[in-house]
Amino acid sequence: MGIDIDLGTGAFYEHEKWETFDAVSEVVSISMVKSSNYFKSNLYLSETTTLSFISFYQVGYDQAISDFRHRMSADLFMQFEITKHFSFLVAGSVHYEDKPIIDINKTVYSISNGLNFSF
């Protein structure tokens, strides 16, 4: 058993370009400087089982709306080693944006599983 933990922060410039889904389609774009912060951990539950988690929080001030735009995401992975080269993986993710620039779902999530092959 063991655990790895990583934390990080930084800044970046983001330019987004979206096409609306309206009857009259238009392109909407936005640019801003954002802060990006993350937390990552790997928890080794046994010699053959690992639980991994990573989350991001990004924020930037949008002058066009005179407000902050927040984005959060999290990914969770659980890996079970079957043999030296094969493992079974279960993964889940959720992504949230409080003020999307076009009318889309604020929250998107997924759950998946599969086999992983490594050399």
Q: Classify the phi-psi angles of 48: left when phi > 0, otherwise alpha if psi is within -120 to 50, otherwise beta.
A: alpha
Judge contact between 29 and 15, C-beta under 8 A.
yes
Listing DSSP states for 7-57 in one string gives EEEEEEEEEEEEE--SSS--EEEEEEEEEEEEEEEEEE-SSSEEEEEEEEE
58 has which bridge partners?
36, 71
For 66-115, the pLDDT digits (tens) are: 999 999 999 999 999 999 999 999 999 999 999 999 989 999 999 999 99
Q: Total structural domains in the chain?
A: 1
- Structural domain that includes position 44: 2-117
Cα–Cα distance measured from residue 119 to residue 110, given in angstroms and rounded to the nearest whole number: 27
For 29-42, the pLDDT digits (tens) are: 999 999 999 999 99
